[in-house]
């Protein structure tokens, strides 16, 4: 049981690390967009389009992080399936890790990215739907990765 618990902790640490890194990039990207477009530019177009531009950058960064989540899920699943657990145990851990890890990733990116953006937050219904889709895709990818890893291992 210790090996199983250590593996689950390892999966959590991987997702936390990726979440913090992606959140830091979202924060820095939002700050960069704000500094380059809103703070340095002048004119009426800036006041009208500037906040939209900064939000667009933040949404692009968040969606990029969500696209990477299923890839991370499949990699973690492959590693789990390659002998860490038997398939009956590695698949549920990979599925749960993909699901919960992606929710953590999305929440971190939205929170830190929003903190870097002075024009608002991306916590909208649309973002929550995208996050839910990415979490399910990551769970499925993690489960497939674990099954393939167990088969190959």
Please tell me which residue, 90 or 20, carries the higher pLDDT value. 20
pLDDT at residue 41 tops 90: no
Neighbours of 39 (CB within 10 A): 11
Tell me the average pLDDT of the chain: 87
pLDDT category at 84 given cuts 50, 70, 90 is: low
What predicted TM-score, i.e. pTM, was given to this entire model?
Answer: 0.87
Distance CA 121, CA 112 (A): 10
Distance CA 70, CA 55 (A): 24
Give Cβ neighbours of residue 126 (< 8 Å, ≥ 6 apart): none
Which of 15-24, 39-48, 66-75, 86-95 shows the lowest mean pLDDT across its residues?
39-48
- Give the per-residue pLDDT at 127: 93
Distance CA 44, CA 146 (A): 54
SS3 50: helix
């Amino acid at each position: 049981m210790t090996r199983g618990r250590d593996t689950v902790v390892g999966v959590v640490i991987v997702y936390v690390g990726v979440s913090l890194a992606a959140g830091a990039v979202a924060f820095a990207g939002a700050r960069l967009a704000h500094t380059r477009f809103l703070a340095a530019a002048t004119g009426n177009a800036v006041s009208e389009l500037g906040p939209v531009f900064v939000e667009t950058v933040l949404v692009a960064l968040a969606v990029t992080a969500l696209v990477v989540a299923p890839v991370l899920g499949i990699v973690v699943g492959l590693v789990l399936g390659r002998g860490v657990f038997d398939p009956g145990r590695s698949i549920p851990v990979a599925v749960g890790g993909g699901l919960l890890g992606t929710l953590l990733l999305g929440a971190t990116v939205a929170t830190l990215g929003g903190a870097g953006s002075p024009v608002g937050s991306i916590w909208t219904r649309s973002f929550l739907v995208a996050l839910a889709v990415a979490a399910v895709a990551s769970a499925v990818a993690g489960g497939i990765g674990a099954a393939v890893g167990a088969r190959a291992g």
